[in-house]
Each structure stands twice: as C-alpha cells, then as structure tokens.
Structure 1
Amino acid sequence: MNRSGCHAHAIRKGAVLAGCTALVLALTGTAAQARDGARDHARDLARQTLPANDGWASHGTGTTGGAAADAEHVYTVTTWDGFKAALAAGGSAPKIIKVKGTLDAAAGGCDAFAVPGYDFDAYLEKYAPEKWGLDTDLSGEPADSPEGLRRASAARQEQAVKANVPANTTIIGVGRGAGFKGASLQIKGVDNVIVRNLTFESPLDCFPQWDPTDGSKGNWNSEYDSAVVYGSTHVWLDHNTFTDGEHPDSAAPTYFGMLYQQHDGQLDVVRGADHVTASWNVFADHDKTILIGNSDGESAAAVDRGHLKVTFHHNLFENLVERAPRVRFGQVDSYNNHFVADASYSYSFGIGKESRLVAEHNAFTLPEGISPAKILKKWSEAPVTAAHNRVNGRTVDLIAVHNAEIPQETLQSGAGWTPTLRTTVHPAKAVPAIVGHGAGAGRLR
C-alpha cells in the first residue's frame, strides 16, 4: 500500500483513480493552506516580536508580547471600557489587543469626575498666595476643604483614566487613526509588553494641585503620563505618536502667576524598570517629555541602581521643551534620533544622578539663536558619551561646545560602556529623512 492508502492495482478502475487523485489534491491543498497560514501569521503585525539585538528590550529573553496568544485571547476593541475589559481578561496568558479608532478615557469631560461640592473658584480664593502664603503646603487640609474635595475628584479621575497592562501583552492600533485620548497606560510590575502603532493624546489633569512650597513662587503640579513603565521589564514601544493634541500648554491659563499645568510626562521609565526599547516614535509638542528615574533620593537609588536600561532609536522629538530624556541612574542609549526644536526649547538630554548616557549618530535641527550648547543639560555629576552628532547639518562635539559656553557646568566625557544591542546604525546626516519618512503611528509596515 502506498502512503495515500490507494492500492497499486486499483488505478485500473477509473472511479478509484479519481478518488486517489482527489485525495492527493486534497492533501496537497491542505499543505499549501498550512504554508499560507504560516506566512499570514508571520505577516500579522500584531504577532511581530522585537528583533534580535534591537535595543535593551532584546536583552536576555527578548520581548515577544502577546505573539503566542491563541484565538480566544485576541481582542478587537472600539471603546475605552472594552479596552479595559480586554486587559483584565485572561490574566497573564499571552494576549493581543487590537485598537480600532480613538478610545476616549475622559469622554464625559472634567465635570464627570468632580465630586459634589468641588468648586475651582473656591479653591483659588482660599489658597491665593496673598491669603495662604507660600510656607505651608496643602497636605493637612481636611476632606471637606477645597483641597480635600480636589483630592477626592482627582481620585475619581485616576480610577477612570488609568489602565493596567498585564504581562505578555501586545497592544496595537489597527491601520491609521487608532489610539487613546485622555488615557494613562500603566505598565507596572510586569514583563514582556509591546505597544505599537497608536496615537496618545496626553491626558489632561482636571484637578492639578497648587503647591505653595514648590519653588520661590509656588507651582501647579499635575498627574497622568501617557505611558508609565514602572518596575517592569522587556517593554517595546514602537511606531507610536505622543502629543498634547487639542490641549497644548501654550493655551493653558495662568493662576497665582504660574502656568496652570495640566500635563505630566509623555513616557516615564521608573522604579527599577529595565530593558526597554523605544523605536520609531514621535514625541511632539510637550514640555516635560520623558523621565528615566524619578528621584535622586536614596530610596529611589536603592531601587534604580543597576536598572533603567533603555534604548531610544529612530524617534522624532519635535517642538519639545525638555527631557528627551532626562536620565537618572540608567544606562541609556540614544542613537539615530532627530530632534527638532522651536523657540520654547530648553534642552534635550538631562544628565542626572549616576546616569550613563550614550548619545550618538543623532541629528538636531535648532532655530536661529539657539546654541548647540543647550542640547546637554547637567543636573548632576555623571559622565556622558556624545559622538558623531550633527546640528543643522554640521558635525558638532556636543560636550565640547557645552563646556566651552557653560563652563560652570562642565561635563565629563565617556559614559564608561559601549552599546552592543543595536540594529542598523545610519549616519547622522541621513537621519532626518529616514526618521521623517518612517516614525510615528500609521507608518508601521
């Protein structure tokens, strides 16, 4: 008997011959379908994994997100409530969440979060510096005070707009125009997460807190980053767009002589998080953009030392004020990024406590009157490597120009380590065109 189950002498009978032929064709078709299915699976953007050697997130076990999800753990969501339900379903089993359209976490507006009795005008009246002063913070205010009612309202917003991402998850936008408005993704205490092809409009804090003791004049402080990587490992953020959207800081009012700041960061990597790659994203139109490590204090140092390893490559940083990123403790590799500044520019790289930043093969486009010396900002004594960077089309030694123009903040050259987890490194002169063509949501191929 042959492998198809047809006897050799049966080929004399036409009916049997036809049956054998059909069986062979069926088997051939099944194999072809299997091959086509495998190819389709490989082409499925939702199942793509981080390539080998692609930044710190490829270290060790690498980053696969929900690529191994079975059919029962693949979700397509069109509402914020549906998205949060999909996150909660199935625990930490591999899952893929496909986002269609813009999911609004604060569709009801700020009034929907305010508790009965909260009145912003009453808040301004009670805590005006000429009445309250600048020596006492508001932490001791009772629950029925304007500050207490503000805290209660803020707690309602926090519950609504934060979404906890479990381990082994891929979140990906479907086509163009997918993303979040007013939402804060919390990638907290988990491993193996992928976030791709999404537009994040920065969440608007409806209830910023006035802190009279913050600085010499007091300040407004807000909550809610667009995405937070907190104590998590192996996280890949790719082809996303982060922006302030309809609520730029330039349109914000002033109270007590200070900007009424309703935005926090676009991306924070904090509290011992490790092995993160951010590639081909757009970070635009924001003030305090990215924080690596959130404190100089010893409690933070005990958690962060030896961690906070992050790679940034082929990102566009456009019209930002500062923190692209500001770094504490971590070994951060930033290469092949394009930084485009406007008149509000303060700095790009913040050199913070015990940081080990390597910034190479990047391109900077600065407006007239802004010196390349401002690209690096020294916050603490820490070494930095900055080589092969170009500013307005010319190769510039960023450390040398900084030290020459800002001698009171002299930087040490040489971060003390050499990045090895890189894929293609383009010459800095090619970076503006390459990043301009490929970075951001809707350009994932």
Structure 2
Amino acid sequence: MPARMRHVRAIAVVMGCASLALAVTLPAQAAAHHRKGIEREVLPAGDGWAAAEGSTTGGAGATPDHVYTVSDRAELIAAFEEAGDAPKIIRIDGTVHGNSDAAGTPIGCEAYQRDGYTLEKYLAAYDPAVWGRDEVPAGPLEDARAASAKLQAAAVNVNVPSNTTLVGVGEDATIIGASLQVKNVSNVIVRNISFEDTYDCFPQWDPTDGDNGAWNSEYDNLVVYGSSHVWVDHNTFSDGDRPDADQPHYFGRVYQQHDGLFDIVRGADLVTVSWNVLKDHDKTMLIGNSDGAGASDRGKLRVTLHHNLFQDVKERAPRVRFGQVDSYNNHFVATEGAAYGYTYGIGAESALVAEHNAFTVPAGFDKATILKKWSESSLTAENNYVNGRKTDLIAVHNAGVPAEQLTEGAGWTPTLRTKTDSPRAVPGLVDRKAGAGKAPGC
C-alpha cells in the first residue's frame, strides 16, 4: 500500500507504550499532530553532544500530511521519498523486514542469488585445500557472489533523510534485516525500535585476513555516516534469532554474517546515544572507522553515550578513533561463558572520557581487558565500578598489560550532561529503563 494511503488509519489510544485501536477511522496523522507524546519529543537541552551548536528536533515540526504510519519496507521507503527533507514523523507499526518482496513478505537469501552462485559451490571453489591461502578469491564464483551481494544491498540499505523522527509504535516495533543509513544528513531522531539481525547473505572469504583467514560481512543495523545532530534513544540492537554463537564454521572460521550493531563514522558529529540496549553481538560499535581518516574526522565524531546497557557484547563498546567521546552511566554486562574481548577500544587520536559507569562481570574476569590500547592516545576514566567496587580502569589495565601502557587525561571535560547518576545505582536504573518500549511518555 502506498505510504500516502497509509495516512488513513484507526485512532490509537496510548496506554504506556502499547496502543489500543478504536473502531473509528480518521486520519491518523491528524490525531498524532494534536496528541503530545514520544513522536514529537525533541532532545532535551544539554543532553549530550547532539544538543550542542543548535538543537536536535527531528521531525517534531511535521505538518499532518508528513506524519506516516508504515508496516513494511516499501511503505517506509515511500514515506522517506515523499517527504524528502521536510520535517516528518515516520511511525513503525509492527515488523518491517529489510529482506522482503514488494508485498512486505520476508524472502530468503536464495532470492538474491545470481549467475549460478550457491554457498556450496563457493565453498568448493575457495576451500584453502584447493585455492590456497595466499590470494583473495577471484573468478566466476567470486563474481557471482559479488553480483548477488549487490542485489541484496539494494534491498537492505535504507536511507534516512534529514529532519526525520523515526519512532516505534507500542512496545514491539521491530526492524529485521535492514540497515538504516543516516548518511550525509542532519537532524534525525531514532527512538523506540528493536533492530534485529541485519545479516549478509553473501560474506566474502579472505584467506589472507589474519593468521587463519576470516569471513567478512557487510551491514550494520544502524549507521550514522557523515551526519550531524542525531539522537538515538531507547532502542534495542541485537542479532535476533541469528546470534554469532550459533553460526556454522567453514574453513575453520565462523561464517560471520553480521558486521556491527551501530556505527558512527566518516565525519559524523554531534550525536547522543541514550538508554539503548546493545546485546549478544561481536563487533558492536565503531566511532571512527579508519586510522587514516583524520582529514575528515578530526574535530568531529563528538559523541555522547549515556545510560546504555551493553549486554554480552564481545568488543567495540565502543572502539574510538578521533573525536571527543563522553561515555557515562552505562552498564556493561559480561555473562559467564559469553565471548568477551574488551569494552573500550582506545584508537587513533581518540579523546575518550569514560566516567561513572558500572561493570557486572563473572568471578575470575580479567579487569585489565576492559580497556584495550590500539593506538597512542590518552583517556579519562574516573569513578567506574566493577561488581560494585570502585576500580581505576587505567591502573588495572597498565598493571595487567605492561607492554601497552595507557596514559591519563583526555584533554577535555564534558559539560553536556543533564544528570549524572551514582555508578552504584546504574545497574538497576539502566536495566530497568533502557531499551525499546521503555521511553518515558510512550
């Protein structure tokens, strides 16, 4: 159904974050326009870097004809295209599948296969026993994989325009298998949505990646790329029903179908990430994607992370390059048996302030691994608690990893914080209030 036709829907009575449809059909955009609620909220003053140098209002000023309710990929794209850069509110009602046909019905990877590609043929062609380990795959099967991947990319990548509020309706609004691209735009708000399983049907085998080769995939659930004034609040990010831990191994390496959960890259700036849940994933969040991107990233990548729950994520929570990143009042949880590498990655010219955070980890956990030094950069890490005890993360790291010493002092002091909670209170507070379906005012 075209997005414009979707303007006419049943009025919804909001109860918490759930909605109850009444047997009256009126223009939903008119009802939304007159009802104050989450969809017209703007970023509070002083709430992180997205509140600097102006404000982040998204589509709060949308006129009634630019409020849309969508329930499949085609409607979502049509709404973005119809409204353009005008202020707009896009309401996700139900589950939107990125891998779907024109009617919104989910489709499998075989729908994208071209030129004779199958995984079985690919594995046979590039088995290290046949192909070797000195060169990346080339030839007809690699060309077929690339053509198939290009077709999937056209479906999975969805571009979000400027002046947009993208908000979930109720407690179960979900986007599965789509990569939301907030790319070279400004003034965007994303709230109250569960993002799941943005998977690559066609990972590429690279036998030269590391000592044993690796499968490399595309797509993040959400990417902020070259954009400014972005607020991402009360969402849940995960691999859904396809966790990395359950993936098969080929050529002795995990068949990796996921990239990141949520990346902020390529000169993105003035971003606030608050009250989200990021869970059950490997490469979680990059802030700055390349050591060589200094020309575009210096003076940018100013990001605030607060009151987020990072649950059983292996690494990059986040990994930081360049930029002034303020990470406070987050709860990091590592469960016994879950894969874990590190939490904060200290990268090229990073200026990370990590304060008032809480870590809940199993017995025997090596606290020296919470920080990982990738490049020579300093950081501030004050008043952080591990299992309820105040812990000097830098001192613990330097004692445990003497070959990779970190120095104190990020060189700046964050001021854009509306409230700082005691790290002792953070686990209960964040676990109770973070994630989709829990935004105040729903």
Equivalent residues in 2 for 1:240-319, closer than 5 Å: 240-297=235-292, 300-319=293-312
Answer whether contact 1:237 1:277 (CA < 8 A) is retained. Answer: yes
Q: What residue in structure 1 maps to residue 396 of structure 2?
A: 401
Distance 1:411 1:41, change over 3 A: farther
Answer whether contact 2:230 2:272 (CA < 8 A) is retained. Answer: yes
Q: What residue in structure 2 maps to residue 5 of structure 1?
A: none
CA distance in 2, matches of 1:371, 1:74: 50
1:409 is aligned with what amino acid? Answer: E
CA distance in 2, matches of 1:245, 1:78: 19
Q: What residue in structure 2 maps to residue 227 of structure 1?
A: 222
CA distance in 1, matches of 2:119, 2:333: 37
Q: Unaligned 5+ residue runs, structure 1?
A: 1-36
Q: Secondary structure at the match of 2:311?
A: strand
Q: Percent of counterpart pairs with the same letter?
A: 60
Deviation at 1:412, TM superposition (A): 0.5
Q: Secondary structure at the match of 1:428?
A: coil
2:408 corresponds to which of 394, 407, 413: 413
Q: What residue in structure 2 maps to residue 128 of structure 1?
A: 127
Higher CA-based Rg: 1
Residue 116 of structure 2 is aligned to residue 112 of structure 1: no
Deviation at 1:432, TM superposition (A): 0.5
The CA deviation string for residues 188-213 of structure 1, in whole angstroms up to 9 with x for no partner, is: 00000000000000211100000121
Answer whether contact 2:60 2:87 (CA < 8 A) is retained. Answer: yes
Deviation at 1:40, TM superposition (A): 8.2
The CA deviation string for residues 89-145 of structure 1, in whole angstroms up to 9 with x for no partner, is: 12100000000011111110111111141121111111111221121123xx34xx1
Residue 131 of structure 2 is aligned to residue 137 of structure 1: no
CA distance in 2, matches of 1:396, 1:166: 43
CA distance in 2, matches of 1:232, 1:199: 22
2:40 is aligned with what amino acid? Answer: R
Q: What residue in structure 1 maps to residue 41 of structure 2?
A: 48
CA distance in 2, matches of 1:218, 1:136: 11
CA distance in 2, matches of 1:38, 1:147: 52
CA distance in 2, matches of 1:120, 1:427: 51
Answer whether contact 1:165 1:188 (CA < 8 A) is retained. Answer: yes
1:102 corresponds to which of 76, 95, 99: 95
CA distance in 2, matches of 1:174, 1:399: 42
CA distance in 2, matches of 1:86, 1:116: 33
Q: Unaligned 5+ residue runs, structure 2?
A: 1-29, 100-105
TM-score, normalising length: structure 1 = 0.89
CA distance in 2, matches of 1:380, 1:303: 18
Distance 1:137 1:70, change over 3 A: same
CA distance in 2, matches of 1:43, 1:377: 44
Write out the 4+ residue segments of structure 1 that deviate beyond 4 Å after TM superposition.
Answer: 37-42
CA distance in 2, matches of 1:371, 1:125: 41
The CA deviation string for residues 56-96 of structure 1, in whole angstroms up to 9 with x for no partner, is: 00011110000011001000001111111111112100000
Q: What residue in structure 1 maps to residue 370 of structure 2?
A: 375
Residue 32 of structure 2 is aligned to residue 71 of structure 1: no
Q: Which deviates more from structure 2 when the two are superposed, residues 310-319 or residues 363-372?
A: 363-372
Deviation at 1:44, TM superposition (A): 2.0
Answer whether contact 1:42 1:48 (CA < 8 A) is retained. Answer: no
CA distance in 2, matches of 1:54, 1:44: 19
Q: What residue in structure 1 maps to residue 23 of structure 2?
A: none
1:77 is aligned with what amino acid? Answer: V
Equivalent residues in 2 for 1:134-283, closer than 5 Å: 134-138=133-137, 141-142=138-139, 145-283=140-278
CA distance in 2, matches of 1:202, 1:331: 30
CA distance in 2, matches of 1:198, 1:41: 23
1:352 corresponds to which of 347, 350, 353: 347
1:60 corresponds to which of 44, 48, 53: 53
Answer whether contact 1:41 1:47 (CA < 8 A) is retained. Answer: no
Answer whether contact 2:57 2:188 (CA < 8 A) is retained. Answer: yes
The CA RMSD over aligned residues, in Å, is 1.4
Distance 1:188 1:40, change over 3 A: closer
1:87 corresponds to which of 73, 80, 83: 80
Q: Which deviates more from structure 2 when the two are superposed, residues 105-114 or residues 388-397?
A: 105-114
The alignment of Structure 1 onto Structure 2 pairs a total of residues equal to 403
CA distance in 2, matches of 1:376, 1:154: 35
Deviation at 1:290, TM superposition (A): 0.1
CA distance in 1, matches of 2:122, 2:152: 18
Answer whether contact 1:179 1:199 (CA < 8 A) is retained. Answer: yes
CA distance in 2, matches of 1:68, 1:404: 53
1:133 is aligned with what amino acid? Answer: G
